Each structure stands twice: as structure tokens, then as C-alpha cells.
């Protein structure tokens, strides 16, 4: 087989059939979009209600390609979350646990590349401009660590059916929403006026936001984690803040990379906590001076990195409304959110 044939085989060079397929697929996509409910986010971007979640238009095709084409391996690890729930932190922790024996901590690629280039996103990165990305070459380290924001119900079947592992990070909705409001302003077109926090909260309470409804997303992964505890680990941002060491142990054990007594004695867990801390990641050159990561200005990935910041922004009326919504949505689920947090015994920030 020569290079052109190999390229054809892996779908790089479009054949006439591919081109036909491309036209059909574009038609199908346009048709699908016509049938879906559509809303504008508070920062002026289109959201389509697809398979029960609000999919941003910018990644819609990528989501469908990912669902259609991705084949999971038993060894894969998936980092899943809603935006602004601590994805960056969880990616850093997962990468550091799994690859801790590949290089000395101070030479970790985490320090030069950052978490988002080591645990790549399906919809914002790998499938964004390519329906069949070359995953073998895109995932340098093994096992493959990959990430997505799409809800559990919409994951490709091979992820659910394989022996791969899923780690989910959630965060209380008040802090998630405040974080999201600050973050999304960078995506607001110039002709769209900034929304007030109250306006944004109104949409959030109606649950119209990227990859929401919030509670459906969280409960989807929560229920799956209850049914398949060996497959899905459900973590909460606030718990990691309160005790990062015990959660690092839990995460490592779940992923099949438990810390040995020797490692514990030598402070490996503390080292990982430190290297992945907000203060350390924020100061990395790739985040301070990097241009864009998947369309995001890297310095906006790090704002305050603390629980309970909602106290500084939300009015009592909004808090009351959200508390009621939380109570109603989580009723009988067995899941609770921490709206306030104990200070960590030792801060690695």
C-alpha cells in the first residue's frame, strides 16, 4: 500500500464517494438543525437542544462525529464534567497519577503543555475540524486520557460498553454559574451587550446553558456512578478542596494506579497535589503567555479557584431561588451539594 492509499484508508484524502458522503452528511446536518429547538445563550451564542441537552453550535458537528466514530479501548480513561466544574484540575490530577512513573515530577509535560493538551477534549479539540481524527498519534501517552462535556446518556456506546473508566467532576451550581458567567464573556460577540449576572441566572434557572440542563447532567453521571461504581467515579470540587490527599488516593485506586506505601512515605501524593494546584498551574508559561487552547484564552481558565465565591456575587433572592431548585431537583437522589466548605487541613495552593 503506498502513502496515498494509506491516507485514503484513514480518510485523509476524500474520494468521490467521500465527497458525496460529505454532501449528504452536510444536508443531513442542516436538516437535523432545522428540527431542533434553538436558543441564544446570555453571551449571544446559539445553543441547539439535541438529545436532551443544549449543544453549542460551535461544537455541534464535532459532537455528532464523536458519537458516530469514536471507538473506546478498555484501557481508556475519560475525564467528564460540565464546563467550569474543575475540569482543568481533574485533568492535571489524572494525568499526574497515571504518568507519575514516566518522568520526574519537575520534568512532567504538564508543566510545559498544561492539562488541556495532555487530556484532549473530543468536541473542542479532536473532532472540532475533523470527523475522523488520528487518535493514535494524537494521544502520545498511554493509557489514553480524553475528555468531554457531553452528558452520560449521549456518550458513544463503546465508552459505556467497554471496560474503560470515567471520572466525573461536579461542583455546586452556585459557584459553577458564577464561574461560567465570568468565563463566557470572552465568547460574547462585540455587538452583544454584556448580560447582568441576574439575566444570566434567569437563563441558568431555566437551565439553558452549554451542555445543560445542569441537574440532568449531574444526575445522569451520579446515577450511572451508583449503578457502576467500578466504571464511574463521581467527584465533587468542594471535596477535593477540603481534602486533596484522600481524594488523590481514591482517584488513583479507582484508575488502577494506587499509591504504594513507599510512595506515600516519600510524599509523592503531596507532590502531585502541589504540581496540580491552582497556584502552580496558573503561573505556567503555557497559561500566562499561551495564545489559545481550543479557542479559549488560557489565562481565563484560572480565576479564583476557591469554593464559596458565590457569596460575593449572588443576591439573597437568587440564592433562595437556587436553593429551592437544588432541593427540588436532587430530591430522593441521594446527592447533596456543599455550598460552603471547610478550610483544607493543609493548603497546597
In whole angstroms, how close is the CB of 82 to ligand A3P at the nearest point? 8
Nearer to ligand A3P, 17 or 312 (CB): 312
Residues 88-107 interacting with ligand A3P (rule: CB under 6 A): 88-89
Residues 153-192 interacting with ligand A3P (rule: CB under 6 A): 175, 179, 182
In whole angstroms, how close is the CB of 268 to ligand A3P at the nearest point? 18
Nearer to ligand A3P, 38 or 306 (CB): 306
Candidate residues 49, 58, 83, 207; the one interacting with ligand A3P per rule CB under 6 A: 83
Distance, CA of 228 to CA of 222 (rounded, Å): 10
Q: Kindly list the strands in the beta sheet with 145-148, ordered across the sheet, starting from the edge strand earlier in the chain.
A: 120-121, 145-148, 77-81, 165-170, 232-236
327 grid coordinates: 432541593
Distance, CA of 291 to CA of 286 (rounded, Å): 8
The verdict on 251 binding ligand A3P (CB under 6 A) reads no
Distance, CA of 267 to CA of 264 (rounded, Å): 5
Distance, CA of 69 to CA of 53 (rounded, Å): 20
φ, ψ for residue 125, nearest 5 deg? -140, -80
In whole angstroms, how close is the CB of 323 to ligand A3P at the nearest point? 19
Q: Using CB under 6 A, which of the segments 6-14, 50-58, 79-87, 99-107 binds ligand A3P?
A: 79-87
Candidate residues 147, 172, 184, 277; the one interacting with ligand A3P per rule CB under 6 A: 277
The verdict on 281 binding ligand A3P (CB under 6 A) reads yes
Distance, CA of 142 to CA of 195 (rounded, Å): 43
The verdict on 238 binding ligand A3P (CB under 6 A) reads no
Candidate residues 65, 80, 87, 172; the one interacting with ligand A3P per rule CB under 6 A: 87
Q: Using CB under 6 A, which of the segments 33-41, 192-200, 206-214, 270-278 binds ligand A3P?
A: 270-278
**Biggest CA-to-CA distance, the chain:** 68
Residues 292-321 interacting with ligand A3P (rule: CB under 6 A): 301-305, 309
Distance of CA 98 to the CA centre of its chain: 18
Distance, CA of 324 to CA of 318 (rounded, Å): 10
In whole angstroms, how close is the CB of 86 to ligand A3P at the nearest point? 5
Which ranges constitute the DSSP H helices of the chain?
Answer: 3-9, 16-35, 57-69, 87-98, 110-113, 115-118, 135-138, 157-161, 173-184, 197-205, 214-227, 237-242, 244-255, 261-265, 268-275, 278-282, 285-288, 316-330
The verdict on 86 binding ligand A3P (CB under 6 A) reads yes
Binding site for ligand A3P (CB under 6 A): 81, 83-89, 175, 179, 182, 276-278, 281, 301-305, 309
Amino acid at each position: 500500500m503506498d502513502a496515498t492509499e494509506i491516507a485514503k484508508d484513514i480518510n485523509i484524502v476524500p474520494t468521490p464517494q467521500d465527497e458525496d458522503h460529505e454532501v449528504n452528511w452536510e444536508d443531513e446536518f442542516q436538516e437535523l438543525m432545522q428540527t431542533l429547538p434553538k436558543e441564544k445563550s446570555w453571551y449571544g451564542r446559539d445553543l441547539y437542544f439535541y438529545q436532551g441537552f443544549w449543544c453549542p453550535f460551535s461544537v455541534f458537528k464535532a459532537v455528532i462525529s464523536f458519537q458516530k466514530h469514536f471507538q473506546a479501548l478498555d484501557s481508556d480513561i475519560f475525564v467528564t464534567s460540565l464546563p467550569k466544574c474543575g475540569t482543568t484540575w481533574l485533568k492535571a490530577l489524572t494525568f499526574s497519577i497515571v504518568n507519575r512513573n514516566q518522568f520526574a515530577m519537575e520534568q512532567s509535560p504538564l508543566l510545559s503543555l498544561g492539562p488541556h493538551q495532555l487530556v484532549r477534549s473530543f468536541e473542542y479539540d479532536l473532532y472540532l475540524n475533523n470527523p475522523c481524527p488520528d487518535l493514535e498519534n494524537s494521544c502520545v501517552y498511554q493509557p489514553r486520557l480524553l475528555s468531554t462535556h457531553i452528558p452520560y446518556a449521549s456518550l458513544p456506546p463503546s465508552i459505556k460498553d467497554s471496560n474503560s473508566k470515567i471520572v466525573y467532576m461536579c461542583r455546586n451550581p452556585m459557584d459553577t454559574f458564577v464561574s461560567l458567567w465570568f468565563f463566557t464573556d470572552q465568547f460574547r460577540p462585540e455587538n452583544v451587550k454584556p448580560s447582568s449576572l441576574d439575566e444570566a441566572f434567569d437563563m441558568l434557572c431555566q437551565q439553558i446553558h452549554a451542555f445543560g440542563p445542569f441537574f440532568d447532567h449531574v444526575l445522569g453521571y451520579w446515577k450511572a456512578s451508583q449503578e457502576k461504581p467500578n466504571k464511574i467515579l463521581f467527584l465533587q470540587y468542594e471535596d477535593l478542596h477540603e481534602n486533596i490527599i484522600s481524594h488523590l488516593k481514591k482517584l488513583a485506586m479507582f484508575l488502577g494506579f494506587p499509591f504504594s506505601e513507599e510512595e506515600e512515605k516519600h510524599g509523592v501524593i503531596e507532590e502531585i497535589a502541589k504540581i496540580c494546584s491552582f497556584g502552580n498551574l496558573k503561573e505556567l508559561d503555557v497559561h500566562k503567555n499561551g495564545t489559545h487552547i481550543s479557542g479559549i484564552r488560557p489565562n481565563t481558565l484560572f480565576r479564583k479557584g476557591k469554593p464559596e465565591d458565590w457569596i460575593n456575587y449572588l443576591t439573597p433572592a437568587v440564592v433562595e431561588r437556587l436553593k429551592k431548585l437544588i432541593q427540588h431537583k436532587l430530591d430522593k437522589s441521594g446527592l447533596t451539594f456543599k455550598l460552603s466548605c471547610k478550610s483544607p487541613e493543609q493548603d497546597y495552593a
